[in-house]
Structure 1
Amino acid sequence: MKRREFIGLIGGASVTWPLVRPLAAHAQQVPIIGLLGANSSSSQGKWTEAFVQRLREVGWIEGSTVAIHARWAEGQSERYAEIAAEFVRMKVSIIVTSGGSAVMAAKRSTTDIPIVFATAGDPVVNGLVASLARPGGNATGLSIQSPELAGKRLELLREVIPGLRRLAFMINVDSPVALPEDGGVKAAASALGLEVDRLEIRRPEDIALAFASLKDDVGALYVLAEPLTTSNGSQIAALSRAARLPTMFGNEANIRVGGLMSYAPRFSDLWRRAADYVNKILRGAKPGDLPVEQPTKFDLVVNLKTAKALGIELPPTLLARADEVIE
């Protein structure tokens, strides 16, 4: 299936892959994967495509040997519990999701259905697993220790803006990753001699208001990576350009819609690895016995078109280190 066809297939807010029974005399219903998309289908499409492709590679073909039911929360936290409850009523075989709030909603909805998270902040701190090595319970997957990345991201911003003195930090204060990353940003900023202004958001409507409150001497913006800011990445990128504000994001999806720069794990790889967890669980493994993994590869992605719109000339040394340059 071509990528455009796939994204078109998953593009609706509530999409169901067909449920197909194997052609056998005493065939049983194929396993059902409930995919709780915390973001929008457009922003998450590339990652979900990687997940489905990996499932195919290990023998699970949507509409044939497995059914996939996708629901998209569009970064609206109240939708997570609704979708998770729907999957429980449907008696899906496994729930796959990402982002701390969505994973926690799934975890609260069931202690029986296996849960695989493609990304989560610190699953031990959030109570999702007992430990990384022995998760216990019904959930496992991939952990992203975002606070440890704050220092690297601020160093990259300082490299682009050598005279940076004041930084704005856009943070969804309702996100479970907010508190630890807030601490990471504060510590890294203090080490670099930067002042930090918090732009607190909870809903999409708060984003424009946060930009309107910016102080005149703010020289750059750091955006907390979580479903609300990812689903509304186009708006944040457009407002950043209008304010001529260089912005650091926590995933490459925001850069593909006009953001300047991101330094983050390769999310499509994390979703491929999530498919490996699903494969093992569908073949009999218990999620509590599968250790939580952490990313080993981090990508620097920059958008040259946005840099030109901001009047910024990105340092050649930074461009040489970039894993992807969008022109």
Structure 2
Amino acid sequence: MKKLAWAPLGAVALAITAFAPAQAADMKSVAVTAIVEHPALDAVRDGVKAALQAEGFEEGKNLKWQYQSAQGNPGTAAQIARKFVGDKPDAIVAIATPSAQAVVASTKTVPVVFSAVTDPVAAKLVPSWEPSKTNVTGVSDLLALDKQMELLKKVVPNAKRVGMVYNPGEANSAVVVKELKTLLPKMGMTLVEAAAPRSVDVSSAARSLVGKADVIYTNTDNNVVSSYEALVKVGQDSKLPLVASDTDSVARGAVAALGINYRDLGEQTGRMVARILKGEKPGDIKTEVSSKMELHVNPGAAEKQGIKLSDELVKSAAKVIQ
């Protein structure tokens, strides 16, 4: 019978101690927060996770992943930001402007990557579109408003009055309103505003546009997008067409949208996060913008809202919702 060879207890303990820190060093932590849950922002979140996995960071193996939504409440967004900062993750991903502002206000040291923020400079997340030299970088969903309005004219050729429901407190939307006030008169149109400071205000704000607007344009305002069905009901009841900048809103009842694929935006964000996990400093990474645009149309929604889309427009769409 062979004798068992026993290592000294101290040597075993030393081996365990040596292994544990190495294992811990390989584990990265990413905390993700969004101001609210709706298809576009959910697609960003899922895209971030998919890109991280493609880059070799997999939840449960070498990645600790946590996600929290503020459910549309800025106060909750601030609480989540403070909680995440206290956790000291390797990076915090903040989806949409209110969540990004809350996180950036809470830390000057933890790396922050924002996503789905239209104008990060106006939102005071970064000083310019160049590398920030701070702990913040990210990916913008900035859209060319002139192309948005060109689409609107194709959908409703005789439109003169463009209605817009938005939250005045959201920096993204305030920037769009300011730009539209300059752009629309050059195209022979005017802007009619309807404020919706809360999600529950979207329906009444939309109804206030009936008789005052020829078409409603919706940007990526989170209050509006999270309550889009309420807007669609007003559009159908009043035969007031809806043109969106969020392509996911077309499946929910918008007539058309020329916008970003938010899953792609999330993957773009995730690749940026991976660069930080691999050692790059966020302040050395320039803010990025998605250049991939898609046209989605919904002929059925158009009919319910009193118009018919041209065959040319439908044929040019990347996706037709039936």
- Shorter-chain TM-score: what band? 0.7 to 0.9
Q: CA deviation at 1:188?
A: 2.4
2:250 is the alignment partner of 1:252:
no
Aligned to 1:127: 124
TM-superposed CA distance for 1:232, in Å, is 1.7
- Which residue is equivalent to 2:157? 162
* Alignment RMSD (CA, Å): 1.9
- Alignment partner, residue 87 of structure 2: 90
Give unmatched runs, 5+ long, in structure 1: 1-23
1:190 to 171, 185, 188: 185
Q: Secondary structure at the match of 2:117?
A: coil
Residue 54 of structure 1 and its aligned partner are, at CA, apart by: 1.3
Q: Is the 8 A contact 1:74 1:231 kept in 2?
A: no
Q: Is the 8 A contact 1:129 1:139 kept in 2?
A: yes
d(CA) in 2 for partners of 1:42, 1:181? 21
1:132 is displaced (CA, Å) by: 2.3
Q: Which residue of 1 aligns with 2:176?
A: 181
Q: Is the 8 A contact 1:237 1:254 kept in 2?
A: no
| Shift in alpha-carbon separation, 1:131–1:163, aligned structure 2, 3 A | closer
1:220-235 map, 5 Å: 220-235=215-230
Alpha carbons 2:250, 2:296 under 8 Å: kept: yes
Q: 1:319 corresponds to which residue?
A: 314
Q: Identify unmatched segments of 5+ residues in structure 2.
A: 1-18
Instruction: Verify: 1:115 aligned to 2:108, yes or no.
Output: no
Q: Which moved more, 1:263-272 or 1:228-237?
A: 228-237
Instruction: Please say which structure displays the higher CA radius of gyration.
Output: 2
Correspondent of 1:282 among 259, 268, 277: 277
Pair 1:44–1:180, CA change in 2 (3 A): closer
CA spacing shift, 1:308–1:191, aligned 2, 3 Å = same
Cα shift at 1:41: 5.4
Aligned counterpart, 1:74: 71
- Contact 2:94–2:100 (Cα < 8 Å) also in 1: yes
Q: Which amino acid aligns with 1:121?
A: T
SS at match of 2:166: strand
Partner of 2:99: 102
What is the TM-score when the length of structure 1 is the normalising length? 0.86
Distance in 2, matches of 1:226 and 1:211, equals: 14
Identity level (%) = 25
- Aligned counterparts of 2:96 and 2:184: Cα–Cα separation in 1: 25
Contact 1:51 1:272 in 2 (8 A): yes
Q: Per the alignment, in what secondary structure is the counterpart of residue 89 of structure 1?
A: helix
The match for 1:303 among 298, 301, 318 is: 298
> Structure 1 residue 96: deviation in Å?
0.5
**Which of 211-220 and 103-112 deviates more?**
211-220
TM-score when scaled to structure 2?
0.87
1:63 aligns with 2:55: no
Aligned to 1:47: 44
Q: Distance in 2 between matches of 1:111 and 1:33?
A: 17
What is the one-letter code of the residue matched to 1:48?
R
Give 1:75 deviation, angstroms. 2.9
| 3-state SS, counterpart of residue 177 of structure 1 | helix
Q: 8 Å contact 1:302–1:325 — kept in the other structure?
A: yes
The CA deviation at 1:36 is 0.5
Deviation, 1:154, is 1.8
Amino acid aligned to 1:208: S
Q: Is 1:200–2:199 an aligned residue pair?
A: no
Aligned counterpart for 2:213 among listed residues 215, 218, 229: 218
Q: Distance in 2 between matches of 1:83 and 1:325?
A: 38
Question: Contact 2:202/2:223 (CA < 8 Å) preserved in 1?
Answer: no
Give 1:25 shift. 4.5
Contact 1:169 1:199 in 2 (8 A): yes
* Pair 1:28-2:18 in alignment: no
Taking a change above 3 Å as real, the CA distance of residues 190 and 295 of structure 1, as seen in their structure-2 partners, is: same
